[in-house]
Amino acid sequence: MAAIPDKAFIQTLSNSLDEAIRLVADDREAEGYELIKHIADTLLVTAVFYEDSELFATAREFYQLIDR
């Protein structure tokens, strides 16, 4: 298994999620959900690269969130 994602990567995703939440709260749901989809896509690619089942599960949860 490859090394885990670095702290800067995790912080960037966290900041993106904060922004997505703000967009949805400001009645800009389409933009917020598009950002959440981008986060899910990033998590999925990262999960495959690092062969990390927990990241894969997290990506799946994000996709389920936007499919509702």
Residue 47 reports pLDDT greater than 80: yes
pLDDT digits (tens, 9 = 90+) for 52-61: 898 899 899 9
Tell me the average pLDDT across 5-27: 87
Helix axes 29-50, 53-66, angle to 10 degrees: 160
Domain ranges of the chain: 7-66
Residue 41 reports pLDDT greater than 80: yes
pLDDT band at 34 (very low <50, low <70, confident <90, very high): very high
* H-type alpha helices, 1-68: 7-25, 29-50, 53-66
Residue 63 reports pLDDT greater than 70: yes
